[in-house]
Amino acid sequence: MSPAQREIITEITPLSDKDCFYFIDRYKDRFNYPIHRHEDYELNFVGDAAGASRVVGDSVCEIGPLDLVLVGHNIEHCWEQGKCSSPKIHEMTLQFSKKLFGDTFLSKNQMAPIKELLERSGNGIAFSHNDILRVYHLLDELTKTPDNFQRMLLLMRILYELANSTESVQLSSSSFAQAPTRTDSRRVLKVQEYIDNNYKDEIRLSDLADLVGMTPTAFSRFFKLRTGRHVSEYIIDVRLGHATRALVDSTHSISEISFECGFNNISYFNRIFKKRKGCSPKEFRELYKRNRLLV
């Protein structure tokens, strides 16, 4: 592990082997905990903090009055003060072990939505305003219910409600989060694996089409239909994910990272990075650098 990697806090959560989950409901006047990661899943609600900045992997964005995010194990995350001026920020944090349900339990048909939700959380998931309103009363109930068994049932209800959301969005790119690619199409998976292994090099549409035995035109339509993105957009996202990871984990210059990740024009790299990430590569690196704490 490089020195840069060691500077990201690896938090040891309060969970013991005998605990199902850890939950805290609190109010505070500012965000001051640096970027960190941990082995456990975390569902984090933030209220009355409009203007704060949320960082999950290589996703950086300003939040509204209500924010709810599920992060999987070992993906970097934090909330920054940003433009938030609220003197009373409401935060509810729920953490549970990746071993809580177990593979056998999650393999049951009835648990399929929750299993998929937990798999997706490796990239971080943000939920919509409607999703938050649907589960807020359940989170609030956790603070008021004295019975631990009922609390466990509430946790499962919350996860099930969120698993059935049609408005949630993935936050971090898979190449930054180092999360596995998920698709139900073997042809798409084959192409995605090829792109992930060859993102540093020139990738031709004709080569990808040949890989799955299709014409370039047919393959372009097929890929867009299955993934919701054009092939060129997907390749850019993969390259940007690897570039943002290199910005965090290495001391290489931005120019070096640009060329190492398949961008052969530094001006284009800076322009597309800012367009997709909302900040320049230098600003992104500084964001992580100022939030680091050597441990």
At residue 293, does pLDDT exceed 50?
no
Mean pLDDT for the stretch of residues 136-163: 93
Ramachandran class of 178: left when φ > 0, alpha when ψ lies in -120 to 50, beta otherwise: left
At residue 2, does pLDDT exceed 70?
no
pLDDT digits (tens, 9 = 90+) for 218-234: 999 999 998 888 999 99
Q: How many CA atoms lie within 13 A of 140 on its CB side?
A: 8
Listed by start position, the domains of the chain span: 3-172, 179-290
138: its two tokens: 């359940």
What's the pLDDT score for residue 228? 85
Mean pLDDT of the chain: 90
Give the model's confidence band at 287: pLDDT under 50 very low, under 70 low, under 90 confident, else very high. Answer: confident
At residue 3, does pLDDT exceed 70?
no
pTM: 0.81
What is the spatial distance between Cα 261 and Cα 247, in angstroms, rounded to a whole number? 11
What's the pLDDT score for residue 7? 58
Query: Is 3-172's fold the same as 179-290's?
Result: no
Q: Which helix (H) or strand (E) holds 229?
A: none
3-state secondary structure of 148: helix
At residue 182, does pLDDT exceed 90?
no
Architecture of 179-290 per CATH?
Orthogonal Bundle (1.10)
Query: Which of 52-66, 117-131, 172-186, 210-224 shows the lowest mean pLDDT across its residues?
Result: 172-186
At residue 165, does pLDDT exceed 50?
yes
232-236: list long-range contacts, CB under 8 Å, 24+ apart. 234/192, 234/195, 235/195, 235/199, 235/203, 235/262, 236/272, 236/276
235: its two tokens: 């390749």
What's the pLDDT score for residue 227? 85
Which residues contact residue 284 at a Cβ distance below 8 angstroms, ignoring those fewer than 6 apart? Answer: 58, 60, 244, 247, 273, 277
> Is the CB of residue 194 less than 8 Å from the CB of residue 211?
yes
Higher pLDDT, 84 or 278: 84
What is the spatial distance between Cα 103 and Cα 73, in angstroms, rounded to a whole number? 16
Give the model's confidence band at 8: pLDDT under 50 very low, under 70 low, under 90 confident, else very high. Answer: low
What is the spatial distance between Cα 128 and Cα 168, in angstroms, rounded to a whole number? 6
pLDDT digits (tens, 9 = 90+) for 20-68: 899 999 999 999 888 888 989 999 999 999 999 999 999 999 999 999 9
Which residues contact residue 57 at a Cβ distance below 8 angstroms, ignoring those fewer than 6 apart? Answer: 75, 76, 77, 123, 124, 171, 172, 173, 176, 177, 244
Q: Which superfamily does CATH assign the domain made up of 3-172 to?
A: Regulatory protein AraC (2.60.120.280)
What is the spatial distance between Cα 186 and Cα 115, in angstroms, rounded to a whole number? 20
What is the spatial distance between Cα 259 and Cα 90, in angstroms, rounded to a whole number? 43
> Is the CB of residue 128 less than 8 Å from the CB of residue 63?
no
* Identity at 20, one-letter amino acid code: C
Going by the DSSP 8-state scheme, the letter that residue 197 receives in this structure is H
What is the spatial distance between Cα 56 and Cα 123, in angstroms, rounded to a whole number? 8
What is the spatial distance between Cα 111 and Cα 125, in angstroms, rounded to a whole number? 19
At residue 5, does pLDDT exceed 50?
no
What is the spatial distance between Cα 95 and Cα 295, in angstroms, rounded to a whole number? 22
